Amino acid sequence: MAKSSPSFQCSACNATSTKWSGRCDDCGAWNTVSEVKPLSSGPASKTLGGARGHHLTLTDLATTSEPPPRTLAGVDELDRVLGGGLVEASAILVGGDPGIGKSTLLLQAAARFARNGLKVIYVSGEEATAQVQMRAQRLGLTESPVKLAAETNLRDILTTLEAENPNLVIIDSIQTMWADNVESAPGSVSQVRSAAHELTTFAKRKGMAVIMVGHVTKEGQIAGPRVVEHMVDTVLYFEGERGHPFRILRAHKNRFGPADEIGVFEMTGRGLAEVKNPSALFLSERGTPQPGSVVFAGIEGSRPMLCEFQALVAPSPHSNPRRTVVGWDGGRLAMILAVIESRAGVPFTGLDVYLNVAGGLRVTEPAADLAVAAALISAREDAALPADCVVFGEISLSGGLRPAPQTENRLKEAEKLGFSSAIAPLTKKGVQTGLGVRQMDDLVTFVKDVFGDR
Ligand code: TYD
Ligand code: MG
């Protein structure tokens, strides 16, 4: 058997190396590198460092236990993202950029859960109680029975929770928490990991739910929420573009519900308001259709959602033309441009390309490919698509169009919002809809059908 080389790991950043050093090559911390002993010393070994382990009790896959109890906030946009309300004894991470509205969201959520019968404690490590109280006043929540503390000492917080026995505790934020048994500074990876671990195990043991706020740090997210993601049951990210009032709460991981579900909110002068009909909202600023503007019939989680892609194409003064994209993936844009050029013969050489999703929404679905292509070609040809038309479908590298999941839900939503036609990939079984649907199976047909002989 090949002899494995020794392995060393930094306790601050988890970087591994094959040799010991006094200072970690990766994060620069001193005296954090130590040897990691391999778990077993050989394939034949039944013991770990000489000591025998306990024989585990193995069980069947079938279960007789009930699904865990849940409490609804009574805010559909939040309850849906949680997978149908807050699960008892669960750990949730809410990540997002500083200033996006996490504290506002969680104070409002705390008040809702408290009103619905939970005992809720809100611990702020970032703001003084007076500041949180002022926010509560602005949000009209001062009557709510939420209990508040401003504290960063984890030992004191756990002692308080032990005595108070709440149903839900909110920790704002995990980066400010300080465990006195860990030597590094608050906000460091070891502190964040250890605080999250203590809170999560405490929550499981006591049957309490814990929601932890985590700031996403711009610099590589080393001490960001990433180190906590695998410990918790649910990871939600709160997103939005600066300058836009819309905020999206997106489930990235959920052990108790579907991932990829989203909730849409609007930041107002009195906190976050639910947006019940996001399609109408994301299309509200649309005037008469311009070249480059295309409405995409998308699906976010379990819900259809319409939004507008806007493209601008202009002669480039640069030798390397610009490709700028907001609200969609830059790599995917490059791919779609390449497919349009090589399969459909519409060149973009020497042209700057800008692509934007209106309203600050971020679209991740591959089904947006055809809407993007339509926006790009429409801008390139200076020809607008019909105002009453929605577009969707995935594009393959060969220029073929692939059917998108939930075709009928997309069409239904478009019809509800007053659209009367759609361009979509060919599906095996026909679609039932009141819309006039033009179905096609490749990009060449699409370009010829929509933009004629150029
Ligand atoms: P905050 O919840 O403090 O963000 P985070 O906890 O993610 O850092 O809110 C940040 C912004 O929200 C702040 O710039 C002010 C704005 N805001 C409103 O527009 N309306 C409100 O009612 C509140 C409370 C905040
Ligand atoms: Mg905050």
* Ligand 1 atom 16 nearest Cα: 101
In terms of Cβ atoms closer than 10 Å to its own Cβ (0-12, 13-18, 19+), residue 377 is buried
Ligand 2 center from residue 115 Cα (angstroms): 22
Mean pLDDT of 205-224: 79
Ligand 1 atom closest to 105 (CA): 2
Q: Distance between CA 272 and CA 266 in Å, rounded?
A: 5
pLDDT at residue 276 in the model = 86
The verdict on the CB of residue 138 being under 6 Å from ligand 1 is: yes
Domain-embedded: residue 211: yes
Query: Quick one: 241 and 388 in the same domain?
Result: no
Give the model's pLDDT for residue 148. 97
Band (354; pLDDT cuts 50, 70, 90): very high
Is residue 217 over pLDDT 70? no
DSSP 87-147: ETT-EEEEEE-TTSSHHHHHHHHHHHHHHTT--EEEEESSS-HHHHHHHHHHTT-TTS--E
| The pLDDT of residue 43 | 46
Q: Which ligand is nearest to the CA of 95?
A: 1
At which of 275, 293, 324 does a domain end? 275
Q: How far is residue 196's CA from residue 213's CA, in Å, rounded to a whole number?
A: 10
> Hey, CA dihedral for 219, 220, 221, 222, is it positive or negative?
negative
User: Is pLDDT at 2 greater than 50 in this prediction?
Assistant: no
Nearest CA residue ID for atom 21, ligand 1 = 271
Residue 86 has pLDDT above 90, yes or no: yes
Quick one: pLDDT band at residue 44, thresholds 50, 70, 90? very low
Alpha-carbon torsion, ordered 403, 235, 275, 367, to 10 deg: -10
In a domain, 20, yes or no: yes
* Span 137-145, average pLDDT: 95
179 Cα: distance to centroid of ligand 2 (angstroms): 20
- Cβ–ligand 1 distance for 99 under 6 Å, the answer yes
Q: In this structure, are 131 and 187 located in the same domain? A: yes
User: How many A from CA of 103 to the centre of ligand 1?
Assistant: 7
310-345, pLDDT tens digit by residue? 999 999 999 999 999 999 999 999 999 999 999 999
CA of 62 to the centre of ligand 2 (A): 43
Looking from the CA of residue 138, the nearest atom of ligand 1 is 22
Task: Specify the pLDDT at position 400.
Answer: 97
Stretch 179-208: mean pLDDT: 92
> How much of the chain is helix, strand and coil, in % rounded to 5?
25, 25, 45
Q: Is 259 exposed, middle or buried (0-12, 13-18, 19+ CB in 10 A)?
A: middle
Tokens of 425: 């990939």
Residue 62 lies in a domain: no
* Residue 28 φ/ψ, nearest 5 degrees: 80, 5
Ligand whose nearest atom lies closest to the CA of 135: 1
Q: For residues 339 and 222, which has the higher predicted lDDT (pLDDT)?
A: 339
pLDDT for the residue numbered 48: 59
The CB of 270 under 6 Å from ligand 1? The reply is: yes
For residues 182 and 91, state if they share a domain. yes
Distance 101 CA to ligand 1 centre (A): 4
Percent of the chain beyond pLDDT 90? 66
Question: Please, are residues 94 and 172 in contact by the beta-carbon 8 Å criterion?
Answer: no
What amino acid occupies position 61?
Answer: L
**CA-proximal residue: ligand 1, atom 1 (nearest):** 101
Statement to judge: residues 364 and 235 lie in one domain:
no
- Ligand 1 centroid to 147 CA: how many Å? 20
Residue 361's pLDDT is what? 86
Band (46; pLDDT cuts 50, 70, 90): low
Spacing, Cα 114 to ligand 1 middle (Å): 21
pLDDT band at 1 (very low <50, low <70, confident <90, very high): very low
Domain end, chosen from 242, 275, 308, is at 275
State residue 45's pLDDT score.
Answer: 46
Look at residue 4 in the predicted model and tell me its pLDDT.
53
Residue 218 has pLDDT above 70, yes or no: no
Mutate to test the pocket of ligand 1, among 170, 267, 268, 270 (most ligand atoms within 8 A of CB): 267
- Tell me: do 341 and 433 sit in the same domain: yes
Where residue 286 sits, what CATH number does that domain have? 3.30.230.10
Task: Tell me which of 235, 259, 275 is where a domain ends.
Answer: 275
pLDDT of the residue at 5: 61
Q: Residue 396 sits in which domain range?
A: 281-451
Let me know if residue 179 belongs to a domain.
yes
In this structure, the answer to whether residues 32 and 181 fall within a common structural domain is: no
Atom of ligand 1 nearest to the CA of 102: 7
pLDDT-derived band at 223, boundaries 50, 70, 90? low
Residue 222, pLDDT score: 47
Query: Closest ligand to 266 CA?
Result: 1
- Residue 28: pLDDT band by 50, 70, 90 thresholds? confident
Residue 64 included in any domain: no
Q: 387-442: per-residue pLDDT in tens?
A: 999 999 999 999 999 999 999 999 999 999 899 999 999 988 878 888 999 999 99
Question: What CATH number has the domain bearing residue 148?
Answer: 3.40.50.300
Q: Do residues 106 and 250 share a domain?
A: yes
Q: From ligand 1's centre to the CA of 240, what distance in Å?
A: 12
Q: Is the CB of 70 under 6 A from ligand 1?
A: no
- Segment 98-114 shows an average pLDDT of 96
Residues 258 and 299 in one domain: no
Q: Is 295 found in the same domain as 266?
A: no
Say if 51 falls within a structural domain: no
Largest CA distance in the chain: 79
Domains identified in the chain, total number: 3
User: Over the chain, what is the mean pLDDT?
Assistant: 89
Same structural domain, 250 and 102? yes
Residue 48 lies in a domain: no
Average pLDDT, integer, range 169-175:
95
271 & 320 share domain: no
Judgement on whether residues 221 and 344 belong to the same structural domain of the protein: no
For ligand 1, whether the C-beta of 98 sits within 6 Å is yes
Pairing of strands 33-36, 323-326: unpaired
pLDDT score for 407: 93
* 59 falls within a domain: no
Whole-angstrom distance, CA of residue 226 vs CA of residue 174 = 12
What tokens appear for 155 in the block? 């030992």
